[in-house]
Structures are given as structure tokens and as C-alpha cells.
């Protein structure tokens, strides 16, 4: 199975119902977004006037560049197929591609908040949520569209799909040739590949040729400089380790002071 989403540009009216629904469903900070809608045009495309929208989100790529860049320690995770109950055990870091439904997910508990996956995503589909803090990261954790995995597993649709007033968003199994999303692919729906990239995006676009051309001409990204991303991740990791060490030293010093004070009290009572 490979879940995917079709954005039918002929139906999208740019109302932002999808972005509002996503924020409400996942408590996304006002200044951030798991998805977005950008207006494109009007522009002249091959002698024709084109005007459309770019509703964007995580592409849940077939070969996601974000997954191998996660520096968190790997952990053995048992994945369960919601439909068949079949299980698969894999070693994964804090972000991974689900072996059963093809979605790309994040383990917030293990995310280091280093931003490596955010920096490496060519679509800018990830962000650091400052509200997701804990002892692992005081600056927040990575967040993104999950194709509303909990909703889908419960038999519902992603919030953005359910809320779309024109039915411009279609969600389903791309590996099922009879699914509606597969029919769109047969009719020409395609994903936005980065320049010199081959990631296999599974959020796909369908529309008039001139509008698709405008979308791809204005919104095709470039792959990130992996060397720079890895250096930033390493520096973030060092900073985190230093902060943790300082905190631990402080706690040890405090514990020592408490023990010393307790010992002095006991000596005083003996006297």
C-alpha cells in the first residue's frame, strides 16, 4: 500500500479551509503550518494566461531525503498493518517511512529538535514546533503533515480532505489500480520533483496543462546541501550535549549541597 493525495487544481478555489482544518486538528502554531495554499499568477504561460493555487503539504515521498538525515539513535520498532494485523520489525530513527502504508512519520518523543529533517526537506514541508518541548529538546520538535494517520486508521479521512468545500483533495491508495487516486494518475496527475531529484512524491497535482506548467515553473524546489545540513545537525547535537552536561552538573552540585546540609543538621542534633 502507498497512501497518496491528489490535488485537483481545477476544483481548488484557494479558500484555505484545508489549512484551517489542519491547524485546528493538530493545534499547529499560528505562525507555522503543516500545509499551505499559495496563489500563483495570473501569469503568461506559453502564450496563455494562467492562474491557479499551490496547495502544498508533505509529499510522503517514495524515497524521502529526510529519513536518512535524522541523527537520533535508532530503535527497534514493531509496525502493524492496520488491515491484516501483519507485523514487521525495523530499526528506525525518530523519523521513518511506514512499511505498510508508505507514510512518513515522526516519533516526537525521540525527536532531538535539531532541525536536520526540516533543513533537508526541499519542499519546506517540515517545521520546528516550539510548543513541543521536553527534556530532550527545549527548543521544540519537528512536525509536519502525517496524512492524519490516526484519523485514517480509525476509518476517517484526513482533516483537509474532509473539509475541502469543492472536493479538490482526494486521498487513497496509489497502489490500488481501482482507487480514485490511481485513476487521476492515469489521467496525468504528477508530483513535483526537486531539481535533479528523484524522491517520488506521493502528493500529486492534476489540472489544465497551463496551470500545471505555472505550478511547476514557480514551485519546483532544489535539493538541500547535505553537507551544510549535517554540520548544523552536529552543532545542534553538541549544544544539546553541553546543555545536558551543565544541567547534570548543576543537579549533582545541588544534591551534594542538600546532603551536606542534612549531614550538618544531624551533627548539630547529636551535639
Question: pLDDT tens digits, residue range 169-226?
Answer: 999 999 999 999 999 999 999 999 999 999 999 999 999 999 999 999 999 999 988 8
Task: Check residue 224 and give its pLDDT.
Answer: 85
Q: What stretch of H or E contains 205?
A: strand 203-206
DSSP assignment letter at 193: P
Say whether the peptide bond before residue 42 is cis (omega within 30 degrees of 0): yes
Whole-prediction pTM value? 0.85
Question: pLDDT tens digits, residue range 245-264?
Answer: 665 555 555 555 555 555 55
d(CA 29, CA 258): 41
> Helix (H, G, I), strand (E, B), or coil: what is residue 175?
coil
d(CA 54, CA 144): 17
Q: Name the residue with higher pLDDT: 5 or 242.
A: 5
d(CA 6, CA 189): 7
CA distances (Å), origin 60, targets 37, 144, 175 = 18, 10, 14
268 pLDDT band (50/70/90 cuts)? low
**How does DSSP assign 21-56, residue by residue?**
HHHHHHT--TT--SEEEEEEEEEEETTEEEEEEEEE
- Which value, to the nearest 10 degrees, does the dihedral of the CA atoms of residues 103, 107, 113, 115 take? -10
* Helical ranges in the chain per DSSP H: 17-26, 116-120, 149-153, 159-163, 180-186, 209-219, 226-270
Amino acid at each position: 500500500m502507498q497512501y497518496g493525495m491528489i490535488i485537483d487544481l481545477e476544483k481548488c478555489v484557494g479558500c484555505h479551509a484545508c489549512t484551517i482544518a489542519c491547524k485546528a486538528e493538530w493545534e499547529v502554531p499560528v505562525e507555522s503550518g503543516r500545509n499551505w495554499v499559495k496563489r500563483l499568477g495570473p501569469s503568461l504561460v506559453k502564450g496563455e494566461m494562467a492562474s491557479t493555487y499551490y496547495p502544498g503539504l508533505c509529499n510522503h515521498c517514495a524515497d524521502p531525503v529526510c529519513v536518512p538525515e535524522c541523527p537520533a539513535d535508532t530503535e527497534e520498532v514493531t509496525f502493524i498493518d492496520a488491515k491484516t494485523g501483519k507485523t514487521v520489525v525495523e530499526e528506525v530513527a525518530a523519523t521513518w517511512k511506514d512499511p505498510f502504508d508508505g507514510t512518513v512519520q515522526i516519533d516526537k518523543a525521540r525527536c532531538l529538535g535539531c532541525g536536520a529533517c526540516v533543513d533537508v526537506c526541499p519542499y519546506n514541508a517540515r517545521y520546528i514546533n516550539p510548543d513541543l518541548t521536553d527534556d530532550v529538546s527545549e527548543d521544540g520538535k519537528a512536525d509536519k503533515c502525517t496524512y492524519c494517520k490516526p484519523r485514517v486508521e480509525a476509518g476517517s479521512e484526513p482533516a483537509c480532505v474532509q473539509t475541502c468545500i469543492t472536493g479538490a483533495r482526494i486521498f487513497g491508495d496509489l497502489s490500488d489500480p481501482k482507487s480514485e487516486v490511481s485513476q487521476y494518475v492515469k489521467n496525468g496527475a504528477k508530483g513535483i520533483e526537486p531539481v535533479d531529484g528523484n524522491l517520488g512524491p506521493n502528493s500529486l497535482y492534476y489540472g489544465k496543462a497551463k496551470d500545471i506548467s505555472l505550478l511547476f515553473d514557480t514551485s519546483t524546489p532544489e535539493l538541500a546541501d547535505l553537507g551544510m545540513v549535517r554540520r548544523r545537525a552536529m552543532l545542534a547535537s553538541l549544544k544539546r550535549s553541553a546543555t545536558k552536561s551543565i544541567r547534570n552538573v548543576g543537579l549533582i552540585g545541588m544534591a551534594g549541597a542538600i546532603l551536606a546540609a542534612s549531614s550538618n543538621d544531624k551533627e548539630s542534633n547529636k551535639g
